[in-house]
Amino acid sequence: METIPAAVARAARDYGTEPALVDPFVRRWNFAELHDEVRTVARALIASGIQAGDRVALWAPNSARWMLAALGVSYAGAVLVPVNTRFTGAEAADVIVRSRARGLIVTGPFLGVDRLASLPAPTLPPFVLPLPHWDAFLDRASLVPAALADSRAAAVREDDVSDILFTSGTTGRSKGAMSAHRQSLGVAQAWATIGGLGVHDRYLVVNPFFHSFGLKAGILACLTSGATVVPQAVFDVPRTLDLIGHERITVLPGPPTLYIGLLDHPARAGLAPTSLRLAVTGAATVPPALVERIRAELGFTTVLTAYGLTEAVVATMCRPGDDTRTVAYTCGRAAAGFSVRISEKDGEVLLRGPNVMLGYLDDPVATADAIDGDGWLHTGDVGTLDERGNLTITDRLKDMYVCGGFNVYPAEVERVLAELPAVAESAVVGVPDDRLGEVGRAYVVARPGHELTAEAVIGWCRDRLAGYKAPRSVEVLPELPHNAGGKVLKYLLRERS
Q: Are 285 and 411 in contact (CB under 8 A)?
A: yes
**What are 104-138's pLDDT values in tens digits?**
999 988 888 899 999 999 999 999 999 999 999 99
Q: Which CATH code of 3.40.30.10, 3.40.50.280, 3.30.300.30, 3.30.70.890 fits the domain covering 400-496? A: 3.30.300.30
| pLDDT, average across residues 164-176 | 74
pLDDT at residue 495 greater than cutoff 90: no
For 51-102, the pLDDT digits (tens) are 999 999 999 999 999 999 999 999 999 999 999 888 888 889 999 999 999 9
Tell which wins on pLDDT, 487 or 444: 444
pLDDT tens per residue across span 226-242: 999 999 999 999 999 99
Average of per-residue pLDDT across 151-166: 97
Is-contact 319 168, C-beta < 8 A? Answer: no
Per-residue model confidence as pLDDT tens digits over 360-410 = 999 999 999 999 999 999 998 889 999 999 999 887 777 878 787 777 878
pLDDT of residue 171: 46
Mean pLDDT over residues 263-274, rounded?
Answer: 76
Q: What is the CA 154 to chain-centroid distance, rounded?
A: 29
Structure confidence at residue 435 as a pLDDT band (50, 70, 90):
confident
Assess contact for 353 and 342: CB atoms under 8 A.
no
Residue 346 confidence (pLDDT): 86
With 90 as the cut, is the pLDDT of residue 284 above it?
A: no
Topology given in CATH for the domain delimited by 4-195: Rossmann fold (3.40.50)
Same fold for the pair 4-195 and 235-395: yes
pLDDT of 172 strictly over 70: no
Instruction: Select from 223, 72, 212 the least CA-distant residue to 153.
Output: 72
Cα separation, 427 vs 231, whole angstroms: 29
The architecture that CATH gives domain 235-395 is 3-Layer(aba) Sandwich (3.40)
Answer whether 20's CB lies under 8 Å from 13's CB. Answer: no
pLDDT given at position 270? 63
Task: For residue 269, give the 3-state DSSP assignment.
Answer: coil
User: Quick one: how far is CA 41 from the chain centroid?
Assistant: 25
Cα torsion angle, 125, 126, 132, 135, sign: negative
Highest mean pLDDT among 274-283, 430-439, 440-449: 440-449
Banded model confidence at residue 170, pLDDT cuts 50, 70, 90: very low
User: Is residue 485 pLDDT above 70, yes or no?
Assistant: no
Mean pLDDT, the chain, whole residue set = 92
Q: Is the pLDDT of residue 334 over 50?
A: yes
On the question of pLDDT at 291 being above 50, the answer is yes
For the entire predicted model, the pTM comes to 0.85
Q: Is the pLDDT of residue 145 over 60?
A: yes
Per-domain residue ranges of the chain: 4-195, 235-395, 400-496
